[in-house]
């Protein structure tokens, strides 16, 4: 066994004699080949790899495993105010994004949210049974088929699917009465 390579000694020690492994650095050409191939992959930016794996002309509207790639940015314009938001990576949010651009009249509901009917029902594939909305949440209420944007905290609601969240101040939504809002995909 003294003339065996370090890799062979390692295999013999670990598997044939069933003892604890003795780590012997391999000196064969495969070690260097693996090092040359693996190190650049480990040093590559995870975002760069994700962008390459999720690239494509329909990337914003399709599912991808990297959450940074899937963040669809939208803008909601109400008069002179622009609210920036990020949509979730779920089938319902992607279906909503497919409707954009969209101009809707937002009506106050229970002094908690602004609601509006959508042109059609959205997909609820793989959606949770409900959600607990927070201030700034954009949601789809499946039983009624409408959009809801919350400007006050609210309790868990069955049938409510979170579409996204407004990143900027949502004070404009507290304005009494109906508001006209244009929602579109953001190019920023």
Domains of the chain: 6-46 (no CATH), 70-185 (2.40.100.20)
pLDDT the model gives residue 3: 60
Going from the C-alpha of 149 to that of each of 21, 30, 38, 111, the distances in angstroms are: 59, 58, 47, 11
Q: What is the pLDDT of residues 77-97, one digit of tens each?
A: 999 999 999 999 999 999 999
Looking at the chain, which runs of residues are DSSP E strands?
72-78, 81-87, 102-109, 113-117, 130-131, 137-141, 146-150, 157-158, 160-166, 179-185
Residue 151 phi/psi, 5-degree rounding, is -110, 0
* CA–CA dist 165, 105 (Å, integer): 19
DSSP 60: G
Q: CB-based burial of residue 28 (10 Å sphere; 0-12 exposed, 13-18 middle, 19+ buried)?
A: exposed
Whole-model pTM?
Answer: 0.64
* CA–CA dist 24, 30 (Å, integer): 14
Q: What is the pLDDT of residues 4-53, one digit of tens each?
A: 555 455 444 444 445 555 554 555 655 555 555 554 544 443 433 333 43
């Amino acid at each position: 066994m003294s003339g065996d390579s370090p890799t062979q000694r390692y295999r013999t020690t670990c598997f044939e004699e069933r003892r604890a492994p003795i780590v012997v650095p391999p000196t064969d050409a495969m070690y260097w080949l693996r090092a040359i191939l693996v190190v650049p992959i480990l040093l590559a930016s995870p975002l760069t790899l994700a962008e390459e794996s999720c690239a494509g002309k329909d990337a914003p509207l399709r599912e991808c495993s990297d959450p940074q790639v899937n963040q669809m940015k939208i803008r909601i314009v109400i008069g002179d105010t622009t609210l920036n938001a990020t949509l979730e990576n779920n089938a319902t949010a992607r279906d909503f994004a497919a409707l954009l651009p969209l101009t809707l009249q937002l009506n106050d509901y229970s002094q908690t949210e602004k609601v509006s009917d959508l042109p059609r029902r959205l997909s609820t594939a793989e959606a949770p049974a409900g959600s607990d909305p927070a201030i700034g949440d954009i949601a789809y209420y499946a039983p009624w088929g409408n959009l809801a944007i919350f400007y006050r905290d609210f309790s868990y609601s069955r049938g409510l699917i979170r579409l996204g969240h407004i990143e900027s101040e949502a004070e404009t939504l507290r304005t009494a009465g109906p508001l006209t809002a244009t929602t579109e995909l953001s190019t920023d």
